[in-house]
């Protein structure tokens, strides 16, 4: 296993940060400065990052399914002192979130100590589906029809794999769409481009993991079925 992957695999740093750390000479293997692409044995080699030992031998990774509430930051620390998703779960060394939810966006958020799996699940090339339900005002029926043909944003065309709209009453609509990318503010920008005013946004599914009846702010472990599918998606099944 390459040393960069060994670091990212346990969530010590992201894969990109691991590459940078090795290139900058901040990583040592058995007391010798590591080089980019160096092969290591996580079970036998002693790896340090900035002088701190990294436990790279993993027996079982931890996974958490969180129902992120609105007004909570998807980050480890917030300079403004706002609540973060890590305030809502039992933290653990190397725990990272899988994809980011905006400050006011609610719903399914995965957290794991498997940094490599987190990278795979969020990389656009793997096309992991995410389903969102937006409570909107506007002509949602026409918007759904247009969205099926694709929505042009400033960073490219987005063609949702599924789009539906159904009335909620009082001139509000549920606008549900499934996408396979995680661009910044993507769903909100799609709605804006379609002339819809978003009042609330909830991610109801990430890959095989559904929000279900999990209360806002609560967390749970993966089911065995969810873990099986995630392992297959990340090449670990």
Q: Cα–Cα distance between 191 and 61 in angstroms, integer? A: 37
**Interatomic CA distance for residues 161 and 178, integer angstroms:** 6
Locate 133 and state its tokens.
Answer: 């339900």
Residue 111 backbone class (left: φ over 0; alpha: ψ -120 to 50; beta: rest): beta
For residues 175 and 144, the answer to whether their CB atoms sit within 8 Å is yes
Whole-angstrom CA distances from 86 to 119, 134, 227 are 19, 25, 21
Q: How far apart are CA 184 and CA 210, in angstroms?
A: 21
Choose, from 45, 78, 91, 102, the residue flagged as catalytic: 102
User: By C-alpha distance, which of 57, 63, 36, 33 is closest to 45?
Assistant: 57
Cα–Cα distance, 206 to 210 (Å, whole number): 7
Task: Tell me whether residue 102 is one of the annotated catalytic residues.
Answer: yes
Contact 11, 56 (CB under 8 A): no
- Catalytic residue numbers, as ranges: 102
């Amino acid at each position: 296993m390459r040393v960069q992957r060994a670091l990212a695999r346990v969530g010590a740093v992201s894969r990109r940060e691991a590459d940078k750390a090795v290139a900058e000479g901040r990583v040592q293997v058995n007391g010798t400065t590591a080089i980019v692409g160096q092969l290591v044995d996580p079970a036998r080699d002693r790896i340090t990052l900035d002088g701190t030992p990294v436990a790279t031998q993993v027996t079982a990774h931890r996974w958490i399914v969180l129902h992120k509430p609105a007004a909570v930051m998807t980050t480890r620390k917030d300079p403004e002192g706002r609540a973060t998703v890590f305030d809502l779960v039992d933290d653990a060394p190397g725990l990272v979130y899988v994809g980011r939810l905006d400050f006011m966006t609610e719903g399914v958020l995965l957290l794991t100590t498997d940094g490599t799996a987190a990278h795979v699940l969020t990389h656009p090339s793997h096309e992991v589906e995410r389903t969102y339900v937006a409570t909107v005002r506007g002509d949602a029926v026409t918007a759904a029809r247009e969205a099926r043909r694709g929505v042009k944003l400033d960073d490219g065309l987005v063609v949702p794999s599924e789009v539906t709209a159904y009335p909620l009453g009082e001139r509000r609509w549920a606008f549900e769409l499934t996408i396979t990318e995680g661009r910044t503010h993507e769903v909100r920008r799609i709605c804006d481009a379609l002339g819809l005013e978003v009042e609330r946004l909830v991610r109801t599914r990430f890959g095989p993991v559904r929000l279900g009846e999990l209360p806002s702010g609560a967390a749970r472990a993966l089911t065995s079925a969810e873990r099986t599918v995630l392992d297959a998606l990340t090449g670990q099944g």
